[in-house]
Amino acid sequence: MPRRERLVRYWDGQAAGYDRKVASVERRLLADSRRWVCRRATGSTLEVAVGTGLNLPYYPDEVDLVGVDWSPRMVRATRQRALGLGRAVTLMPADATALPFADGRFDTVVSTFALCCVPDERAALAEFVRVLRPGGSLLLADHVVASNVLLRTLQHLVDLVSVPTQGEHYTRRPLNTLRHLDLTVVASERLTYGAIERVHARRTT
């Protein structure tokens, strides 16, 4: 089975129990970064790798939201959460590295705790920039390679298992890739021994 199809099936299988599985980590470590990212969204906003819709409660009401994920079951889970919240959102399956939108379509692009699982991180970030209008905001949060040396060593060991089995990388740092794209970093913060990073960048042209 091709690797991409295998990974999509893996995330399809995670959809039903994902929220229960991550509830403790979400509450203690991730929710604040989701809030930091989503409250900065404005105008027409695309969330890439929307997952089960955990970001939905944090967006401003006036944001016109579109969400995509390569897992159809994750998209369905987000649709159910949106209905429960009374949140209007357009949802569809799509790959982060081949977004089905015109150049400069969005005012904001959001991705949280997802680039770690995209096989080609640079291709995905280039797509995010492509669909942003000039001056638009790219908003990211992810677990990244830690600044703490002991934690960083553990992350490298975890990668030996997590990358081949579920495509999840613990030693990436998207900010380093962003510096080579058509973007200016407006704000960034590292938390939890440097293992979580959130970034606000703008497309410059």
Q: Residue 117: how many CB atoms within 10 A of its CB? A: 21
pLDDT at 2: 86
pLDDT at 49: 97
Say which residues have a Cβ less than 8 Å from residue 123's Cβ, sequence separation at least 6: 97
Q: Which residues of the chain have pLDDT under 70?
A: none
Q: What is the pTM of this model?
A: 0.96
* Cβ-contact 128, 48 below 8 angstroms: yes
At which residue do the structure tokens 């991180």 appear? 121
CA angle, corner 199, sides to 58 and 161, nearest 5? 95
At which residue do the structure tokens 């999840």 appear? 168
